[in-house]
Amino acid sequence: MVKIGNIELPEFPLLLAPMEDVSDPPFRRLCKTHGADMMYSEFISSEGLIRDAIKSRMKLDIFDYERPVGIQIFGGDEEAMALSSKIVSTVKPDLVDINFGCPVKKVVCKGAGAGVLKDVDLMVRLTKAVIRSTDLPVTVKTRLGWDENSINIDEVAERLQDIGVQALTIHARTRAQMYKGHSDWSHIARVKNNPRITMPIFGNGDIDNPEKALKYKNEYGIDGIMIGRAAIGYPWIFNEIKHYFKTGEHLAAPTVADRVEAARNHLMWSMEWKGERLGIVEMRRHYTNYFKGIHSFKEYKQKLVTTDEPEALFAIMKEIEQVYAGYEFV
């Protein structure tokens, strides 16, 4: 069993990564249904929370069926991080997570996200400010370092644990790599094997099938895996990995009917949470992923991304299910 504060997780938990414009409550609900053990909100700007920005406040919405769930914040100012930590605590998530890994330029330029990897002293001060401002467990997600010439994850892990961080997720790339090139999990293994490190260490980066998940679990000795992009349009990956761990066999791949059901639920829950119009519009980015691999699907995709009425969208999905009944993915 893996513990983060008072949170008890399974022996080898599978975590859903916090992803901007993806990891909202409807998507998290879908992943929870399909086996995710713990999830996180989209990352939230500490300055946005303090300014009472509507989008930032919406990201604080969590629901009991999601638990355990963490809310992730980012920022480069100690006072703002402390205050936002207090705001986050009022909605009673299970933990507060700090993002020191986002490589996006607009975040890094503010001295936040992966930008903090260039100044570990600042990272420590920001983290201390959050820990002092909440009674909840505080965890961190970060990267190996700024670039391959400044990989400092060993120092980062020790110093964060020393000030009270209770779990660390490491994306096995540098900021310079963004999301390209190969992830290098050997650095994560080195952190995990450090006798000083007692907090759980979770690995993140490039896990997109059960075989790779098992290989990395055995090879690198981590306490759990965080899955991000591979879950977009494919929430089945969590249960597929768990089944493979237990049996060494693959679950049957989701059928077109399964994919339609997932897309339908995602749309329905999005409309419930965001309102009908916004729910429909923001769902459009997901259809390609749900129906990836289906030949001659262009016409239906065009309908899905241009239709504005819920009933018409559900009718299109029903037609897809009927037309492609028995379709076998190559």
Cβ–Cβ < 8 Å for 165, 193: no
* Amino acid letter, residue 118: K
Q: How many C-beta neighbours within 10 Å does residue 96 have? A: 24
Side-chain-side CA neighbours of 15 within 13 Å: the count stands at 32
Residue 72 marked in a binding site: yes
Give the N- to C-terminal CA distance of the chain in Å, as an integer: 38
The SS3 of residue 87 is: helix
Residue 171 marked in a binding site: yes
- 102 catalytic per annotation: yes
Instruction: Considering the candidates 38, 102, 170, 227, report the single residue annotated as catalytic.
Output: 102
Distance of CA 107 to the CA centre of its chain: 17
Q: Provide φ and ψ at 108, rounded to 5°.
A: -60, -40
- Rg of the chain taking only CA atoms, in angstroms: 20
Residue 166 marked in a binding site: no
Cβ–Cβ < 8 Å for 31, 16: yes
Q: Provide φ and ψ at 168, rounded to 5°.
A: -135, 125
Annotated binding site for FMN: 72, 141, 171, 228-229
Q: Which residues are catalytic?
A: 102
